[in-house]
Structure 1
Amino acid sequence: MRKLTYLVATSIDGFIAEAGGGDPTNTPGFFVNEGDHNAALLRDYPEMIPTVARPVFGLEDVPNKEFDTVLEGRRSYEVGLAAGLDDAYEHLRHVVFSTTMTEARGKVELVATDPVEKVRELKREAGQKLWLVGGATLANALRDEIDELVVKMHPVVAGAGMPMFGGEFRPERYHLARHEAFESGVLVLTYTRIES
């Protein structure tokens, strides 16, 4: 059975974007865009680079290493649309969850039904892992289905914003499976679900 990984960048205090959403990589001072952590992330997760930017990083012919499917909510998808990208991840199967959108562009698969049922269906299919790219509402809906968290924690305190999980207080423990610290101050923390 395939695994679902929530691979996401956060501040030290657990925020992934401004409260209204938007592209956190374009928010001044929010994430560290330069530094030694980038080479490691490209090495481990080359598929997380949007298709249009892959040639810039020399990734045109690099195969997907971990994931073959990307999942995101409407607001995350709209970040790409606002940047002029109908499908930011053409090199992956791209699934967008929304109950308000009536159509998606490109090869994007729009799902308006229960995200949990869809993810369970995807997990039963053959293939690589599923990548949950965002956002907080979808992450909360899929919380019980997330097998792995890869947290790219940046050395920034935001104070407020969109949390990693937008939901009720419900503590759950994860096992720290791997960690890397970089001179840039970024930590990449990989956690796996502790089965109860």
Structure 2
Amino acid sequence: MANFVYIATSLDGYIAGPDGELDWLMNFPNPGKSDFGFGRFMKKIDALVMGRHTFEKVLTFGTWPYPKPVFVLSSTLTGIPEHLEGKVELVSGDLRAIVNDLNDRWFKNLYIDGGQTVQSFMREDLVDELILSRIPVVLGAGLPLFGKLDEAKRFDLVKNEAFKNGIVKTHYRRSR
């Protein structure tokens, strides 16, 4: 049972540009069409927990990319698009209670996605593993991956992988 963050950042720690733009990710060279291990990662995930902003961004992609159940954290959304009924569920409230409820429903390994959601899970010390892919670009401004914490959170290195196109993927596990 674990909560995972699997996310790409710029070298200066941003997950999106100042207006949420992701073009710097989509236009990065990937001649071998590698998924950089994302497919393998998704096989061990039972469900995703994402924030409303990330959900709304994913809706602009056209096709729904997730084969697993998705739980969207939102206190403002009132419904899910009809074509996603049965695939997406709205949740709100205390993060620990949400995680416990999902675990009780046999969603043991959760993929946590979205800037504010990752920051909230970090503040509550609910992130067990971080898999960060550093894209060799400096954005200079944007949406940071991590926000202010009341105390430091220590992680141990599990694995480090460097790819030919300059991406470095680093896997960390929470040291408790």
The TM-score by the shorter chain falls in which range? 0.7 to 0.9
Distance 2:39 2:26 in 1: 23
Distance 2:74 2:108 in 1: 24
TM normalised by structure 2 equals 0.84
CA shift at 1:128, angstroms? 5.1
Q: Deviations over 1:40-85 (max 9, x none)?
A: 425533x3xxxxxxxxxxxxxxxxx211201110010001222334
Matched, 1:192 2:173: yes
SS of aligned partner of 1:130: strand
SS of aligned partner of 2:4: strand
Distance 2:116 2:39 in 1: 29
Are the equivalent residues in 2 in contact too, given 1:36–1:184 (CA < 8 A)?
no
Cα gap change, 1:167 to 1:124, in 2 (>3 Å): farther
Are the equivalent residues in 2 in contact too, given 1:152–1:189 (CA < 8 A)?
yes
Distance 2:33 2:166 in 1: 9
Match 2:49 to one of 66, 71, 94: 71
Matched, 1:123 2:91: no
Matched, 1:16 2:12: no
Percent identity of the aligned residues?
29
Distance 2:52 2:90 in 1: 9
Are the equivalent residues in 1 in contact too, given 2:102–2:108 (CA < 8 A)?
no
Are the equivalent residues in 1 in contact too, given 2:92–2:98 (CA < 8 A)?
no
Question: Which sections of structure 1, spanning at least 5 residues, go unmatched?
Answer: 48-64
Question: Which sections of structure 2, spanning at least 5 residues, go unmatched?
Answer: none
SS of aligned partner of 1:145: coil
Equivalent residue number for residue 88 of structure 1: 65
Aligned residues: 170
Cα gap change, 1:40 to 1:194, in 2 (>3 Å): same
Are the equivalent residues in 2 in contact too, given 1:11–1:31 (CA < 8 A)?
no
Distance 1:29 1:84 in 2: 17
Distance 2:38 2:112 in 1: 17
> What is the RMSD computed on CA atoms of the aligned residues?
2.3
